[in-house]
Chains A and B, each alone.
Chain A
């Protein structure tokens, strides 16, 4: 069965510093991996995805993520954090062999950027 783990409930970073939000996954076959962001009282917004190709994926708002197959990880990163990046971040996975496979989300990581 597929699963996603986000080991940190909360990540605190000073504005201007680099940030990393961790995600590990378990899935049969090749994974499709996603990152989403949720602002208060809103739905989830798509940030980026990995399907195949380069292990470093670039997405919206200056975020990027690195796919590491040997460590089954897909960590979200940003070189310089902004206060406006403060939100709830979700990692998700789908087994890539079938478009009919459901997408499973991690428990979420709250990112807090202090001025």
Chain B
């Protein structure tokens, strides 16, 4: 089974621009979560999508948004980029029944904002 795939792996943007990151979950996983990882703040929960609906949301400003498509693929968007948005953005999927629901992570998209 293919793992969680995130694209792009690396990208550089300037302040004020916007960015869209993509995540393809493991086949059959309907839940997709997004996390922001920075050296100072650790791993911060952004949001979780399940069956195209946002199920949970972290404490991030409205500039951070996401969506999920009918094939469970997910995108997250950050508008009006700030220097502090530089981070590794991790996507994770999980099965939603049985198993205890551990997350399976992608390799991440490293965003640098200049």
Contact = CB atoms under 8 A, between A and B. Distances in A.
A36 to B, nearest CB: 8
Nearest to B47: A102
Contacts of B55: 100
Interface string B27-59: 000000101000000110100101000011010
A110 to B, nearest CB: 11
Given A34-B102, A44-B90, A103 B45 contact: yes
Given A43-B90, A44-B105, A51 B48 contact: no
A100 B50 contact: yes
A43 B108 contact: yes
B43 A108 contact: yes
Nearest to A6: B42
A102 B42 contact: no
Interface of A: 32, 34, 36, 41-46, 49, 51, 90, 92, 94, 99-108
Given A32-B101, A43-B4, A44-B103, 5 more contacts: A41-B110, A44-B43, A44-B90, A44-B105, A46-B103
